[in-house]
Amino acid sequence: MPTVAFISPKGGVGKTTAALLLASEVARGAKVTVIDADPNHPIHAWSRGATLPENLSVVANVDEDNILDRVEEAAAQTPFVIVDLEGTAAKIVLLAVSQADLVIIPMQGSQLDAEQAGRAIKVLKQHEKMTGRAVPFGVLLTRTSPIIRTRTMGHIQSGLNDAGVPVFTTQLHEREAFRAIFSFQKTLEDLDEKDVPNLDKAIVNAEQFAVEVIERLRQGRNATATKTEMA
């Protein structure tokens, strides 16, 4: 059962928003558990006031001593597990990464964010050296303009591509709806279009992101199967 971990050494990049959007979209067709391992527990706080989809559950009593057990328990109960983590230096992050089938590193289109994303990638490379297991990952560009592609964004994307860093084709745009899910404590689909502008476009954006994540998980699984057959 796939486990997806969201990590970022920098706050304010839309990490938790991306994790919740993915969880909500996956929950439309399959059971999913979100493990809220962010010390601020933003998803758990959201869930206490929200009417959760039947397929979505949130676990928050998580620390470095029980993270492996929590992931294992969740994977035994639901087909998808999504882990929201803060930072990269903590032991809990390395433990969660060790169980992940895909790591997503959200970042905004700035040089500072690119440098911080580089720190996260370095942690993944160090984990690979220590364990001999490469964890598939991808950088997710967030809070981008759906209309204008700035020169800075183009420069950042070119730098990532030149460095061979996998980048999600889908970007999560700057949308009022993505903030509204926390303000109204609802899933994207449960928001009222009268309260939130361009809700339909936000829903399409979230769906595109979820589809690409699932496709990357599928590709990773096929690659693993191929390696096993060749061994």
37: left (phi over 0), alpha (psi -120 to 50) or beta: alpha
Residue-wise pLDDT tens digits, 133-183: 999 999 999 999 888 777 888 888 888 888 899 999 999 999 999 999 999
What's the chain look like in SS3? CCEEEECECCCCCCHHHHHHHHHHHHCCCCCEEEEECCCCCHHHHHHHHCCCCCCEEEECCCCCCCHHHHHHHHHHHCCEEEEECCECCCHHHHHHHHCCCEEEEEECCCHHHHHHHHHHHHHHHHHHHHHCCCCCEEEEEEEECCCCCCHHHHHHHHHHHHCCCCECCCCEECCHHHHHHHHCCCCHHHCCCCCCCCHHHHHHHHHHHHHHHHHHHHHHHHHHHHHHHHC
Least confident of 39-43, 112-116, 149-153: 149-153
Number of domains in the chain: 1
Provide the CATH number for the domain around residue 181: 3.40.50.300
Domain range enclosing 198: 3-230
Least confident of 68-72, 89-93, 197-201: 89-93
Q: What is the rounded average pLDDT for all residues in the chain?
A: 91
Question: In this predicted structure, what is the pLDDT of residue 220?
Answer: 78
